[in-house]
Amino acid sequence: MTTLPALEVENLAIEYKIGTEWKTAVRDINFTVEHGESYGLVGESGCGKTTIAMAIMHYLSRNGRVSEGSIRLKGREFVDLSRRELRRARIDDISMVYQDPATALNPSLRIGTQVADVFELLGVAASEHHRRVIDVLKKVQIADPARVVERYPHQLSGGMLQRVVIAMAIASEPALLVLDEPTTGLDATVEAEVLDLVASLRDEIGTSVLFISHNLAVIRKMCDRTCVLYAGRMMAEGPTEEIFTEPRHPYTVGLLRCLPNPDVGSRDEMSLDTIPGFLPPLGAEIRGCVYVDRCAMSQDICIEVEPGLNDVGGGRVSRCHFPDEAPNLPRTVAADPVERKRSDQTLVEIKGASKTFMQDGHPVYALSNIDLAIKVGETVGLVGESGSGKSTLAKVLLGIHTPDDGTVITLSGEELASELERRGQEEIGAVQMVFQNPDSALNRRHSVHRIIGRAVQLLRGGRRNEREDRIKSLLREVRMGMQHYNSKPRHLSGGLKQRVAIARAFAGSPALVVCDEPTSALDVSVQAAIINLLSELQVEENVAYLFISHDLNVVRYIADRVAVMYLGRLMEVGTSDRVFSGPNHPYTEALLSASPELADDKRIRLEGEIPEPSNPPSGCVFQTRCPRKIGEICETVEPELVEAEPGWFKRCHIPVEELRAMQMGASA
């Protein structure tokens, strides 16, 4: 017996009304999600993946409409359903999980009420509601469903909320489950949990999954087949493994080359490749291939004729005139890394850094006794999840937060005042910051040259024409042309804005730049360019970086040494090679296993939630979740940060040989 595919999308085109005109956002979309299959839609921002998802859910915004094509759910045409039939389909056949679980739930209703809705809609008897709610919450591995049912959304963590949303979605055992960036806002370990949950539920219930994400690693892990989207068109489609290991489209090849991963090695071995150029504007009429402006192997025919989806074998299709040439795509950026001089001289030393905030009268222990040294020209990667204190540490270093007494920070041997106001001009210029969000980091009302110029004026001084020269040379250093000199931030793309922010940070020739998730808000192709830029600047200016990131691959690529933080404490510190090869502190081990590319097959699961910084556990702060906990000593005595091997520090009671045996020995 053949079962109907869960979803069939045929010749779908969607338009948006901009001003008074309708512009095509998405065109020629054809794909099928078979029964029980997991299908991924992947692409960068503006590729149309969310638009397609919303069209499938029949929830386009008021200025959007399906202009062509058909969407069939279990064989039934979905595009023109009556109101009642649409409601019925939403109850029985299709469910969605959203990007931000905190806003996806009604803040004024208890969790139990919101989950019970689904059962009410399914026609379950009222007396049965409570039992069914508890059951479905157990299914999504919520440990204490009876208590969660009484809670309001603001009382639960992001991971917990997402489980609730998943519970609501699977309660009806729908034919199709649509997930739109379901783990983007979550911590790494929580993300891994949620993804595992989705995979196991899929096996159990047999529901089909449409998975939408910009994260290639997650798609690779979760989907049987994948479609790569660009500017509202399908670029490539096929079995996920083949798409990623044997790509047949220059865009896919380009994307994969942008990502740091274990094969690429570190920045001392190879530079990341980038994809030059920009997305075409919405609704632009392009005669030929929509990717032609950014493609390094484009030919005349690509400008004239749009390629169809050509079969390239192995179940793959590719919208390219020369798919077999794709793996040989010429690089935009030379592969050779930049030569670096390493120094042993200590630049910044942080000793005993602690920071306690007061919140509603309760102390919040954001940082506890941190010791960290950064050498001249070195990159120290700082990793940790929410509540780890990594941002607080950066702000203490910069003088934005005043640390508790007893903290000593030295710069080139001289003690640095703990408050920004008391630091001298030179000291201020020596320690600067690049922020996560370029929209927030630049004053929307100031032009590029004023933004950089003011920093130059205050951090460097000099006469008018000297300052102008400096602004121009900074723009050159960040590879920006003079055409942006008078532009305001709203005229610039995310990548360009971040370059301006970097130029500003370098205005006073700093010795140390704190980079706080500098690429997290950017698209993949842009991330690579910024990472390369930071890499080159480091060599040219001999500057040190404190590089904060939640993306372990990026940290592995760019950092010389890595420090892992948990609940305001350093858990492990060592060189990048050492930390990423192991053996590790149990927390680091769990973090590494949560990252899809870095993990081997076994996944370390962490039970429970990250504790509140206002109420840290006794003994070792990690003991409440540590899978390698050895016993009472972990609960009563907090371990010291100890140099267990030359240059490698751990805060754990377990001796390193045992860790080695546990983590690298026979696991069977």
Partner 1 sequence: MVATASRSQRWRVLRRSPTFWVGGFLVLMWVVFAVFGDFVTPYEPRGTPQDILNRLQPPSAEHWFGTDDLGRDVLSRVLAGSRQVLTVAVSATILGTVLGTFIGLLIGYYGGLIDDVVSRVLDAFLSIPLVITGMLALAALGPNTIGVILVIGLVFTPIIAKTVRAAVLSERQLDYVTAAQLRKENSLYVMFVEILPNVWSIVIVEFTVRLGYAIFTVLALSFLGFGVEPQTPDWGADIFQHYGQLTGRVWWPVLFPAMAIALLVVGVNLLADATSQAFE
Partner 2 sequence: MTRFVLRRIGLALITLVLLSVLVFIGTQLLPGDVGRRILGPFATQEAVDVLNARLGTDRPLLVQYWDWITSAVTGDLGFSISFSRPVTELLGRALVNSLKLGALAFVIVVPLSLLGGIVAALKRGTFIDRIITVGGLSATVIPEFVSGIVLIVVFAVFLGWLPGFATAPPGSGFFTQLRHLILPAIPLVLVLFGYIARITRAGVIEALDADYTRTAILKGLPRSTVIRRDVLRNALLPTIAVIASQVGYLIGGLVVVEVLFGYQGVGKLLFDAARNADFPLLASGVLVVGASFQVSMLLADVAYSWLNPRIRIS
- Binding part of the chain for partner 1, among 101-109, 136-144, 451-459, 651-659 by CB under 8 A, reads 451-459
Residue with Cβ nearer partner 1 (517 or 551): 517
Our finding on whether 51 is near partner 2 (CB under 8 A) is no
For residue 650, which of 562, 518, 567 has the smallest C-alpha distance? 562
Handedness of CA 540, 542, 547, 551 (dihedral sign): positive
> Mask: binding to partner 2, 146-185, rule CB under 8 A, as x and -?
------x-xx---------x--x-----------------
> Mask: binding to partner 1, 500-529, rule CB under 8 A, as x and -?
-x--x--xx---------------------
Q: How far is the CB of 618 from partner 2 (least distance, A)?
A: 25
Q: How far is the C-alpha of 435 from the C-alpha of 426, rounded, in Å?
A: 21
Q: Figure out which of the listed residues 441, 502, 524, 530 binds partner 1, where binding follows CB under 8 A.
A: 441
Q: How far is the CB of 17 from partner 1 (least distance, A)?
A: 15
Contact 26, 36 (CB under 8 A): no
Q: Taking CB within 5 to 8 Å according to partner kind, which of partner 1, partner 2, none is near residue 168?
A: partner 2
* Phi, psi angle pair for 170, to nearest 5°: -90, -10
For residue 478, which of 558, 532, 414 has the smallest C-alpha distance? 532
DSSP lists the bridge partners of residue 649 as 573, 643
Q: How far is the CB of 486 from partner 1 (least distance, A)?
A: 14
Residues 404-423 that bind partner 1 (CB under 8 A): 420-421, 423
Q: Strand, coil or helix: what is 409?
A: strand
Q: Taking CB within 5 to 8 Å according to partner kind, which of partner 2, partner 1, none is near residue 445?
A: partner 1
> Mask: binding to partner 2, 307-346, rule CB under 8 A, as x and -?
----------------------------------------
Residue with Cβ nearer partner 1 (260 or 429): 429
Q: Taking CB within 5 to 8 Å according to partner kind, which of partner 1, partner 2, none is near residue 490?
A: partner 1
Q: Figure out which of the listed residues 83, 154, 445, 602 binds partner 1, where binding follows CB under 8 A.
A: 445
- The pair of structure tokens assigned to 374 is 């950064």
Contact 388, 588 (CB under 8 A): no
Our finding on whether 433 is near partner 1 (CB under 8 A) is yes
How would you write 196-255 as a 3-class SS string? Answer: HHHHHHHHHHCCEEEEEECCHHHHHHHCCEEEEEECCEEEEEEEHHHHHHCCCCHHHHHH
Residues 86-115 that bind partner 2 (CB under 8 A): 87-91, 95-96, 98, 100, 103-109
Our finding on whether 22 is near partner 2 (CB under 8 A) is no
Q: What is the DSSP letter of 366?
A: E
Q: Taking CB within 5 to 8 Å according to partner kind, which of partner 2, partner 1, none is near residue 106?
A: partner 2
Our finding on whether 444 is near partner 1 (CB under 8 A) is yes
Q: Figure out which of the listed residues 10, 11, 59, 345 binds partner 2, where binding follows CB under 8 A.
A: 59
Q: Strand, coil or helix: what is 368?
A: strand
Q: How far is the C-alpha of 409 from the C-alpha of 549, rounded, in Å?
A: 22
Residue with Cβ nearer partner 2 (121 or 656): 121
Q: How far is the CB of 454 from partner 1 (least distance, A)?
A: 7
Q: Figure out which of the listed residues 39, 211, 435, 587 binds partner 1, where binding follows CB under 8 A.
A: 435
Our finding on whether 16 is near partner 1 (CB under 8 A) is no
Residue with Cβ nearer partner 1 (192 or 434): 434
Q: How far is the C-alpha of 574 from the C-alpha of 584, rounded, in Å?
A: 10
Q: Strand, coil or helix: what is 26?
A: strand
> Mask: binding to partner 1, 459-498, rule CB under 8 A, as x and -?
x------------------------------x--------
Amino acid at 251: Y
Q: What is the DSSP string of 593-618?
A: HHSTTT--S--PPPPS-PPPTTSPPS
> Using N-to-C axis directions, what is the helix angle for 586-594 and 188-205, rounded to 10°?
50
Contact 306, 290 (CB under 8 A): yes
Query: What's the maximum distance between 2 C-alpha atoms anywhere in the chain?
Result: 83
Q: How far is the C-alpha of 154 from the C-alpha of 164, rounded, in Å?
A: 13
Q: How far is the CB of 465 from partner 1 (least distance, A)?
A: 21
Q: Strand, coil or helix: what is 569?
A: strand
Our finding on whether 400 is near partner 1 (CB under 8 A) is yes
Q: What is the DSSP letter of 141?
A: T
Contact 500, 451 (CB under 8 A): yes
Contact 440, 431 (CB under 8 A): no
> Mask: binding to partner 1, 329-368, rule CB under 8 A, as x and -?
----------------------------------------
For residue 657, which of 642, 645, 639 has the smallest C-alpha distance? 645
Q: Taking CB within 5 to 8 Å according to partner kind, which of partner 2, partner 1, none is near residue 272?
A: none
Q: How far is the C-alpha of 614 from the C-alpha of 356, rounded, in Å?
A: 9
Residue with Cβ nearer partner 2 (95 or 252): 95
Q: What residues line the site for partner 1 (CB under 8 A)?
A: 398, 400, 420-421, 423, 425, 428-429, 432-433, 435-437, 439-446, 454-455, 458-459, 490, 501, 504, 507-508
Task: State the residues that interact with partner 2 by CB under 8 A.
Answer: 57, 59, 87-91, 95-96, 98, 100, 103-109, 117-118, 121, 152, 154-155, 165, 168, 360
